[in-house]
Amino acid sequence: MVSDSQSFGRAFKDFRDGFSQRELWLALGWQDIKQRYRRSVLGPFWITIATGLQAAAMGVLYATLFGQSLSSYLPYVTVGLIVWNVINASILEGSDVFIANEGLIKQLPSALSVHVYRLVWRQFLFFAHNLIIYVVMVAAFGIWRHLHWSGLLAIPGLMLLFLNAIWVTIVFGIFSTRYRDLAPILGSTTLMLFVLTPVMWKTSALSGTASDRAKLAELVPTFHYLEIVRAPLLGDPIHLRSWVVVLSITVVGWIIAILAMKKFRSRVPYWV
C-alpha cells in the first residue's frame, strides 16, 4: 500500500505550492545574484563581462583554427556559450540544489519545488544579463539584416530550455542527494558533452569524411537544445527533427521527474 506522502496528489501539490510561493523564490533567486557580487561596482554585470570575454577569446581562437569569418563565427560561439551556460548550470547546480539548501529544507516549512524554481529563476536572470552581449553582436555584425519572423521561434525554444531545466534539476537533485557519487560523475559528463556539442565549432566547418562524422553530433541531445535557440537568434533555419527530439526528451524527462517527486520527495529532508 502506497502512503499518502508517496502519492501523485502530494507530488503535484508540491509543484503547485512551490509555484504559489513565487514571492519567496523570486526574492531568493535575486538575492543569490546580489550576494555573489556584493560590494562590487558593476554588480551582476560582471556576469555579462565574464561571458563576453570568454566568448571573444574562444570565438577568435576557433575562427582562426577553422578559417572562418569572425563576423559570422563570433556571434555563433557567443550565443552557443550563453545557451550552454544554462544547460551546464541545470545539470551541475541542479545536482546540488537540495544539498546546498539543507538548512532551509530542514527549518523552513515550504514546498521542495521552491528550491528548484529558485535555481531556475536565478539561471534565467543570468541568461537575461548575457543577452546584452547578443544585442551588441546583432548591432556590431549586422545580424539584424538576416533576422526574420522565424526568429520568434527562439521564444518557444527558450521556454522549452527552461522547462527542461526544471525537470533536470528535480531528477539530478533528488538522486544526487541520495547518491553523493553522482555529482562528480555529472561533472565529467557535462565536460564530455561540451566537447561533443557544437558550442565552439560548426559541423559545416568540416568537409569530406569529417563532415559525415560531424553529423554524429546530432546524436548528442544538447545539440538540439542549442539549435532551437541559437538558429532563430542568428537567422538560420531550424530542422524539424531538433524540435521533435527536444519535445520528446521534455515529455520523458517530466514523467521521470514526477515519478521521482512521487517516490522520493518525502525522503529528501532525511537525505540532506
- State residue 43's pLDDT score: 66
Asked if 272 contacts 98 with a C-beta cutoff of 8 angstroms, the reply is yes
pLDDT band at 113 (very low <50, low <70, confident <90, very high): very high
- Among 89, 83, 85, smallest CA distance to 173 is for 89
- Sequence-separated contacts (24+) of 13-19 with Cβ below 8 Å: 13/111, 14/111, 14/112, 14/113, 14/261, 14/265, 15/111, 15/113, 15/261, 17/110, 17/111, 17/113, 18/110, 18/111, 18/112, 18/113, 18/114, 18/116, 18/117, 19/113, 19/117
Could you list the residue range(s) of the whole structural domain that residue 251 is in?
4-271
- State residue 258's pLDDT score: 95
- State residue 3's pLDDT score: 56
- Looking at the structure of the chain, the number of domains it has is 1
Residue 104 pLDDT > 80 = yes
* 166 vs 111 pLDDT, higher one: 166
Residue 174 pLDDT > 50 = yes
- State residue 1's pLDDT score: 46
* CA 205 to centroid of chain Cα atoms: 25
- State residue 41's pLDDT score: 65
Q: Among 105-109, 208-212, 222-226, 258-262, which stretch is predicted with the lowest mean pLDDT?
A: 208-212
State what percent of residues in the chain have pLDDT above 70. 91
* 34 vs 165 pLDDT, higher one: 165
- Tens-place pLDDT, residues 195-219: 889 888 887 655 554 555 566 778 8
Quote the pTM value: 0.89
What's the whole-number mean pLDDT along residues 66-70?
Answer: 80
- State residue 70's pLDDT score: 82
- State residue 136's pLDDT score: 87
